[in-house]
Each structure stands twice: as C-alpha cells, then as structure tokens.
Structure 1
C-alpha cells in the first residue's frame, strides 16, 4: 500500500514536469489560434512520457538508489581511495549510459548527421568521460581541494577546444554535456559527493560535497568536440545514395511487417534495447555488492521489481518522445516561424525556459540540500527563481543565435569566458553549487522539447543548417544559471548588511 502511495506521489511529480505544455497550449490557443496536426497522438505521447518517467523513478527508488547509497557508505567507511575511485568511475559510466535525455539527443544527432555521428559511440564516449570525472571528483573531495581551480582550468580548456572544433559538432557537444546530469545521474552522483564530504572530518558539505555534477557536465564537452574533430577531419562523409538506399530498404521492410505480429516483434526489440541500456548500471551495482562488499542484497524481490520498472519506464519514455514531445517542439517551431514577427519565438523560448525550470524536481531537491548545507546563507526558493531566470535568458539567446545565423563558437566562448571571470570573483562557497545548478536544469520533458524546438527552427528558417544551428539550446540553458547564481552571490556578499541572510 505504501509503495502504491509513493508511486502516485512520483506520478504527480512527473505530471508537474508537463508544465511547459501549458505554455505550449497558451501559445497554440492565443497566438497561433490553430489546432496542430496529430494532436491526439501528441497527447497520448505526453501521457506515455509521464507514465514512463514515474515508473523509471519508482524503479530507481526500489532497486538502484538503496544499493548505491549503501555501497557509497561502505566504501567511505573503509577509506580506500582506489576502491572509491573505481566505484565512482563505474557509477558515473553506468548512470550516464542509461540516461534517457542523452539517448534522445544522441539519436537525433545520428539521424541529422546521416550516420556520421554514431549514437552509441557518442553515448559511450560521454559515459566514459563522466565516469573518469566522477573518479577525479572523489579525489578532490577527499583531498579537500577548492573546486574553482578545477573549473577555471577546465573551462579554459573547453573554450580552447571549441576554437578548433568543427561547427557541426560544437552545439551537439555542449548539449551532450548538459544532458548527462539528469534523472539518473544527479541523485546518484550528488549522494556520493555529499556522503563523502559529511563522512570525512574537516570537509564542508557545501564547499566539498557539491561539484561532482559540475565536473560531469564539463568533461563531455571536451571529449565530444575532440570526437567531432576526428570524425569531420578524418572520417568519410556518408554516401547520399547509400543512405537513400538504406532508407528505402527500411521503409520496404516496415511495410512488410505491418500487422500485429510485426508490431509485437518491433516492441520486443525496443524493450531488449532498453535492457541493454540499463544493464551496465545493474551489473556495476551487483558486482560491487557481491564481489567487493560480499553481502547479500536486502529485500531482493523489491530490488528485482525495481530493475524491471526501470527498464519498462525507460521504454515507455522513449516511445512517448517519438509520439509526443518531438512532434510538439517541431510543430511549435514551424508555426511560430510563419508569423509576421520573431517576437513570439523569443517570448515562447523565454516562457518555456522559465516554466520548465520552476517545475524541475531535481532543482527543487538540490535547492533544499543547498539551503540545509548553507546554514542560513542560501534560500531554496531564491535559488529556483534565479536558476529559472538564467535558463529562460539562455534559451532566448540560443534562439536568437539560430534566427540570426551567428556562429555558435563566439556565443559559447563568450559565455564561458564570463563564467570563468565570475568563478574567479564569486565567493568560494557558491562556486560548486552554481556549477551543479547549471547541470540540473534540463528535465526529461525540457530536453526533448527544447531540442525539437531548435531543430524545428533550423529546419524552417532559410539558410540554416539543422546540424550546425539546430543543436546548442541546452548548452545555453546550462551556462546562464551559473551566471545568475554567481551574480546573486556577489551581490549578497558585497551589498547586503552584515548578519543578513539570503
């Protein structure tokens, strides 16, 4: 009975993630005054997304999070640095390889690049990057290093690589970094960092517990751009004739499989693919539980049920994307571009950014943890509003870049130059939190919707390339919350009277 109540509570959180759809409905009814094509299919897709996310989260709570927390505590008590690093690497890798938002972005990138960017290779590369950086972050927490030096050096390297990277990969690389810290990754990585900081004498939860999420966002930006340099400098471009032939063959095969049996087989294949995606995190947890800790899993039946729910929820999420969220984003972009002025596009971008962020459960959770760790210096509601404003500004600037056709290089390098400057000037206690907040602002609904919006705008504005201009909105959504939070901390530190809390 308690499990059913928890599931309904999670289902309510999943419905809250649909707040941006209220913005879409408003623009559709008041501005466009038209009913989009395929409305019923979109609605069904949105409901499937909600159900999928709820099942996925419930499965994590039952099967994966309890074991992960127990393992983190056990390793922290042992105090073995190699063991903690190995666990951090495996945890980061396995969480990201199963990240729904990354799956969505990678599949879109492969389709738009006509196979030049391989979706599975992209996901493995990002997962390896996150695994390596979580291991590095564990060392930072144990040694008590200040995060701001890591971020300044890291983002100087990011900007340097961006200068040399081909324009086809830059937006995708920054989007890949922005979506690595989401529904699976944030709770697991944040719990590891805060747990370590609390268990080690002389460490501060705010200064040393936060920051793993920030590092997990930064490093994939570098590795994916390096991958793009290799692919676009040395790789062979896809043959249009071969691509057309493959597409025709796929269409022919699909026509032959129409019917109940064909649909069932297709669904089974998709479900097995989801199992392949989630298998790494399951294997990592089982290996460390039985081979390293050497203790049986408590409540094994609940854990098995949780694993099943994770796989089914992930499957439903991906199906819902195809039916609902991607068509909604593309449809809105197509309709708004036809209006007499781009003002409505800017207003829609700002509204979507603000609404999705205010409804983001991960942001609510991180804000509450920050308020507790800050001991009066931080207010959770202020943090949410600041981050929501930052995301709204970021997506609006990203949309402006698509409309004008400007190079993403200058926007990204300028944005992170500002971030590096603020990292140098801001109070040190706020730096880890600010960077973490930049990584948790993109929910399971936001990422597909914003990605589809960018691709839709690039498709329907004359002279724009879908691959070059369509990606990058998520990157802007990750940069500007860091800016707004650090600016607020600078204001609070320098202009508020002594003793006043924020």
Structure 2
C-alpha cells in the first residue's frame, strides 16, 4: 500500500473514532434540545481539524518513531543489560508523556482555571518524571517476574492515603493527570515494551508479566501531582485562588469573541504555536536519536522517511491542539450549559453515559490492547467482550462523576471509595486478569474523549450555582479510569466461579 493510501486509511480511522461523538451530540442537539449550538460552523471546522491532526500524528508515528523504538527495544533485549533497559524505559516514558496531547490540554486548562497557581509546564514535567521512573521500575518487575497485584494494592493504598490529606483543589486534577498519561503516544510504546520484554524472557507469561506498565504509569502521577498540590496550596489561602479561577473561567468566552487579529499577527501566532509543538515533541526525538547513535551506534535506516515522520508528528500535534480549541472544548462547554438548562437532570446523566460508552467502543488503543490480550490469553479472553465491559465501565464512571458535580459531594470520598473497591477486587480477582484490568483502565481515555469530558466537567461546574470550577470541574477522567477496572475484574471473578461450579457439578 502506498503512503498516500495508508494516510487515507488512517484518516478514515480517525474520523470513525470521532463519529460516535458526532452521533451522540447531534442526537441531543436535534432530538432533546431541538436547537443548534452557537458557533456551529467553527465547531465543525474544529472537529475536522482534530481528525486531520490525529491522522497526521499517527502517520508520523508509524513512519518515524515506532520503527526506531521497536528496533531499540530489540537491541537492548539482545544485550540483556538491566541498566540499559531501565535507562531506555525511563527516557521513553518521560519523553512520550511530555509529548502527550491530552496532558497538554489538561495542563493548560488547569493553569488557566487556577489563575496561574498551578503551572502547566511544571505539571507536565512532574507527570512525565513520574511515568519515566515507574516504567523503569516496571521493566525490573517484568524481568524479576513479580506479581503485579501486590504493586497495585500497595500503590493504591498509598494513593488513597495521600488523597485524604491533599487539598480539594488538586484531587480531581491529580486523578485526571494520571488518566491522561496513557494515550495516543504512550500506550503503544509502553505496552509494546512490556509485552516484548516478557515474550523474550524464558519463564515469563505475556498476559501476567507483559501487561501492567500502563497501569503503573497511571497510578504514580496521581501521587506526585497531589503532593505537588500540597506544596502549591500551602502558600496562600484558598480564598485567594478561587476568585482567580472564576475570573479565568469567565475570561474564556471573552477571548473567543475578541475581534479577529490581523493577518500578520495571526501568521506569527501560528508560527509560535508550531515552534511550541516542536518543543513538546523534541524530548522523544532526542531520546530516540541519543540511544540510536550514542548507545547502539548504528545509523538509522531510511532516514528520509524517519525525518518525514518527525515532521508529520509535529504538524499533526499542532493541528490537533488547534482543533481542540475550535471544536471539542466549545462543544463540551455548550452541551453542559444547554443540558443544565433543561427541566430534567436525567438528560445530563443520559448524555454522560452515552458519550462514555460510544467513545470507548471506538477507542483504537483499547481495540489494540483487547486483541493483544486475546492472543496472550490463549482462549480465556474475548477481545470484543473486553471492549464492551470496558465501555460499560467508562459510561458508568462518567455518569457517577457527573452526579458528583450535580450533587456537590466531595471528590475525596468518591475517589477513595472507588479505589477501596478496586483494592478489594484486586485481592479477590484471578491473578492473570489483574495486570490487564489495570491497563484497560489506563487506555480508556482517548485523544478525543479527554478534551470533551474535561470541557463537560468544567462546563457543568461553571453553570451550577455553588460549584467551584477548580474543585468540581476536574475528576471525570478519573472516574472513567476507575470503573473499567471494576467491570473487568467483576467479570473475571464471575467467570472463574461459574467455571468452578460447573466443574464441581457431577
């Protein structure tokens, strides 16, 4: 297949991923609200730009970054050097997360809404460092063959403990930051590293030892970001921060309705944004080139294709961020405002459930992980059934998260209760399913779902009296990550007990 044909296939794939959102939004706009949103043309153009950006980004990954990453992993596995594997794992995790589009979007929203109290760049570096460290440790776990469930039980007990002491302004953001670390860039790179490593070591099982790196990459940022919040909010009172957050939230529509800038200013702004995108992607390119030329000391094959892939990654990421600003963020805010204005709050719950289920069923990373799990499970797992279970979990999680915003409950108790349930199920579930279940909780938030769900939460918190945008607006992504773990583990427990009952029946 030619490169043009391959790009056309990826473009259609990106559009199919976005189509469920379009269908759900169109149904609610036409059948429930019976009106079209303001700025429909701009939103539609933004959605198309998102599709184009994701397609260019994925094409760039396939041409430039993935082939080199795969070759590096194979070379290090052949050499059998633990130091090299840990170093590569750290650098790979750090650089992939720094370039993560959804984390960039969430960090920028957090900086704006907190009135600058939370620094977006610092937040991204902190999350990236956390993921780098945990991928390096995850490599050691795979090599030693340790069971993941002890890591997860201990880790989430620590998460719940830190949550109890963390300030309310940071909890939702911390869990959202953990949820968005595993996405369009991170999942393929990290999952391939874990599965490939487990497959190459004698005595290791791809299902039990290959999965789990993604789960660890979700968990540790939740701890580090909450600790960051403790430091940030220990200087100055909450009363000083919330007016800034409110002012920032009000300032968003004003910025959008500002007069159009001149052609030169617009061009300079676009060039500046593009240079910032290069800065965002530069770490992963630097890591790959360093290990390729300074450690392995081999030239890159088909250098022209690789360089073209790097350019496509940067341009695609730029188009994706522009599309977010034009399309998905305004749609999320608009839907939240219109749904809150309806007489029955049940429509808000129905929209949350529908958007969660529809987007998850089309999530490419989930489809890929489901197929890998089916192959590794050797008949014990069905990929399509896993996708349905995960989609139900995401839908339920987002619905519960929306209820928290509407009812006004503290996110501390919801999150602590959710992870207490996860810890209990981790203890009860069959050990083979634990790494996969936690990984599935990390791949459910796609590059399209995250901005829309984040905007929905912020929009609801903005338009419901008595809610704080900073405290109540974040957290929906966290719920979308918790409940797929619950549904998959519950299913595995049910299947195991049903199998035992059938075996015991004479």
TM range (shorter): over 0.9
Does residue 333 (structure 1) correspond to residue 336 (structure 2)? The answer is yes
Distance 1:187-1:28 versus aligned 2 partners, 3 A rule: same
Matches within 5 A, 1:474-489: 474-489=477-492
Asked whether the equivalents of residues 148 and 428 of structure 1 are also in contact (C-alpha less than 8 Å), the reply is yes
2:442 paired residue number: 439
Q: Once the 2 structures are TM-superposed, how far is the Cα of residue 357 of structure 1 from its aligned partner?
A: 0.3
Q: SS at 1:377's partner residue?
A: coil
Q: Once the 2 structures are TM-superposed, how far is the Cα of residue 235 of structure 1 from its aligned partner?
A: 5.5
Does residue 471 (structure 1) correspond to residue 474 (structure 2)? The answer is yes
Q: Once the 2 structures are TM-superposed, how far is the Cα of residue 12 of structure 1 from its aligned partner?
A: 1.5
2:361 paired residue number: 358
2:176 paired residue number: 175
1:413 paired residue number: 416
Q: Once the 2 structures are TM-superposed, how far is the Cα of residue 240 of structure 1 from its aligned partner?
A: 7.0
Distance 1:349-1:363 versus aligned 2 partners, 3 A rule: same
1:6 paired residue number: 6
1:309 paired residue number: 312
Q: Once the 2 structures are TM-superposed, how far is the Cα of residue 177 of structure 1 from its aligned partner?
A: 0.2
1:30 paired residue number: 31
1:320 paired residue number: 323
1:188 paired residue number: 189
Q: Once the 2 structures are TM-superposed, how far is the Cα of residue 361 of structure 1 from its aligned partner?
A: 0.5
How many corresponding residue pairs?
495
Measured in 1, the distance between the counterparts of 2:16 and 2:333 equals: 22
Q: Once the 2 structures are TM-superposed, how far is the Cα of residue 496 of structure 1 from its aligned partner?
A: 2.9
Does residue 428 (structure 1) correspond to residue 421 (structure 2)? The answer is no
Asked whether the equivalents of residues 115 and 238 of structure 1 are also in contact (C-alpha less than 8 Å), the reply is no
Distance 1:361-1:256 versus aligned 2 partners, 3 A rule: closer
Q: Deviations over 1:36-55 (max 9, x none)?
A: 00000000000000000000
Measured in 2, the distance between the counterparts of 1:256 and 1:34 equals: 26
Q: Once the 2 structures are TM-superposed, how far is the Cα of residue 283 of structure 1 from its aligned partner?
A: 0.1
Measured in 2, the distance between the counterparts of 1:49 and 1:349 equals: 21
Measured in 2, the distance between the counterparts of 1:78 and 1:496 equals: 43
Measured in 2, the distance between the counterparts of 1:396 and 1:137 equals: 32
Q: Once the 2 structures are TM-superposed, how far is the Cα of residue 279 of structure 1 from its aligned partner?
A: 0.1
Asked whether the equivalents of residues 17 and 443 of structure 1 are also in contact (C-alpha less than 8 Å), the reply is no
Q: Deviations over 1:120-144 (max 9, x none)?
A: 0000000000000000000000000
1:15 paired residue number: 15
Structure 1: 5+ residue stretches without partners: none
Q: SS at 1:496's partner residue?
A: helix
Q: SS at 1:234's partner residue?
A: coil
Distance 1:470-1:257 versus aligned 2 partners, 3 A rule: closer
Deviates more, 1:9-18 or 1:74-83: 9-18
Q: Once the 2 structures are TM-superposed, how far is the Cα of residue 147 of structure 1 from its aligned partner?
A: 0.2
Does residue 455 (structure 1) correspond to residue 420 (structure 2)? The answer is no
Measured in 2, the distance between the counterparts of 1:24 and 1:444 equals: 17
2:102 paired residue number: 101
Does residue 343 (structure 1) correspond to residue 360 (structure 2)? The answer is no
Measured in 2, the distance between the counterparts of 1:335 and 1:234 equals: 37
Measured in 1, the distance between the counterparts of 2:422 and 2:262 equals: 54
Q: Once the 2 structures are TM-superposed, how far is the Cα of residue 327 of structure 1 from its aligned partner?
A: 0.2
Matches within 5 A, 1:47-58: 47-58=48-59
Q: Deviations over 1:214-236 (max 9, x none)?
A: 00000000000000000001368
Asked whether the equivalents of residues 387 and 484 of structure 1 are also in contact (C-alpha less than 8 Å), the reply is yes
Deviates more, 1:258-267 or 1:162-171: 258-267
Q: Once the 2 structures are TM-superposed, how far is the Cα of residue 289 of structure 1 from its aligned partner?
A: 0.2
Q: Once the 2 structures are TM-superposed, how far is the Cα of residue 239 of structure 1 from its aligned partner?
A: 11
RMSD of aligned Cα (Å): 2.0
TM-score normalised to structure 2 length: 0.95
Asked whether the equivalents of residues 162 and 225 of structure 1 are also in contact (C-alpha less than 8 Å), the reply is yes
2:218 paired residue number: 217
Measured in 1, the distance between the counterparts of 2:260 and 2:345 equals: 44
Q: Once the 2 structures are TM-superposed, how far is the Cα of residue 368 of structure 1 from its aligned partner?
A: 0.3
Q: SS at 2:227's partner residue?
A: helix
Measured in 2, the distance between the counterparts of 1:239 and 1:352 equals: 30
Q: Deviations over 1:27-80 (max 9, x none)?
A: 000000001000000000000000000000000000000000100111011111
Measured in 2, the distance between the counterparts of 1:272 and 1:462 equals: 40
Q: SS at 1:233's partner residue?
A: coil
Distance 1:353-1:92 versus aligned 2 partners, 3 A rule: same
Q: SS at 2:234's partner residue?
A: helix
Does residue 259 (structure 1) correspond to residue 262 (structure 2)? The answer is yes
Asked whether the equivalents of residues 242 and 470 of structure 2 are also in contact (C-alpha less than 8 Å), the reply is no
Distance 1:60-1:235 versus aligned 2 partners, 3 A rule: farther
Q: Once the 2 structures are TM-superposed, how far is the Cα of residue 3 of structure 1 from its aligned partner?
A: 1.1
